[in-house]
Amino acid sequence: MSARVTSATALRVLRQLRRDRRTIALVFVVPPLLLTLIRYVFDGQPQTFDRIGGPLVGIFPFVLMFVITSITMLRERTTGTLERLMTLPLSKLDLLAGYGLAFGLVAALQATVTAAVAFGLLGLDVEGSIVVVVLLAVGNALLGMALGLLASAFAQTEFQAVQFMPAFVLPQFLLCGLLVARDQMAPVLEWISYALPLTWAYDGLQRAVDGGDAALIARDAAVVFAVTLLALALAAGTLRRRTP
């Protein structure tokens, strides 16, 4: 793995994102707007907003990075950019690490902006550490990125890539425990939820918001990190090197 090649890959991805104004708006404008909408939907129930607002600060990056990364990588595949890159002397790890670095920086900035709006302008109140919530949000964004890279291998068009969101992300959103406590679900759904990475991401966020046990937060973060590494390893397996 080469630091120079990895950084060059990250800079190329960041330049592409900078030229795409719609993606920039999706990343940095949509999450604060959605949180603002939720804040005033529950205008008469501030305790409900406090309960779900904190976890959503970390869940929105997961969802958006999944969509953006899957589409971006699919473009690389369909336009032949990825095929040309794989003829160069760079490793799969360089390529994936470059994407990880680029989207990690974007995720950190997105989480910071979203948290500033939520905790500053909207008055979101949490008992735990805001810094921990933001760090978990960045970790969740990297998880979404890794799963998006993997999902892009199974799509042939951007429309198919977008379809993975309701097929893959929405069930996790419904079962993670944000809307209904998992112990109140049908037993089979509760057991399924433990196999979904967003469940562990949500648990870590909820504990961070409530000021829960640091050891349990670390455990949840470790599970998210392990799934991220596994998804990146599987994504690397979908890259095919071709000789010039």
Per-residue pLDDT averaged across 202-220, rounded? 93
| Residue 242 pLDDT level (bands cut at 50, 70, 90) | very low
Per-residue exposure over 128-162, b if at least 16 CB sit within 10 Å of its own CB, e if not? bebebbbbbbbbbbbbbbbbbbbbbeebeeeeebe
> Residue 1: its pLDDT value, please?
60
DSSP codes, 86-127? TTSS--HHHHHHHHHHHHHHHHHHHHHHHHIIIIIIS----S
- Residue 155 pLDDT > 80, yes or no? no
Per-residue pLDDT averaged across 216-242, rounded? 85
Condensed to tens digits (0 to 9), the pLDDT of residues 56-83 reads 998 988 988 888 888 877 776 666 665 5
Considering only CA atoms, give the Rg of the chain.
18
Compute φ and ψ for 23, nearest 5 degrees.
Answer: -65, -40
- Residue 244 pLDDT > 50, yes or no? no
- Residue 128 pLDDT > 50, yes or no? yes
Q: Which of 79, 66, 88, 69 is nearest to 8 (CA)?
A: 88
- Residue 15 pLDDT > 90, yes or no? no
Per-residue pLDDT averaged across 139-168, rounded? 82
| Residue 198 pLDDT level (bands cut at 50, 70, 90) | very high
Residue 116 CA: distances (Å) to CA of 1, 57, 109, 110, 202: 36, 10, 10, 10, 20
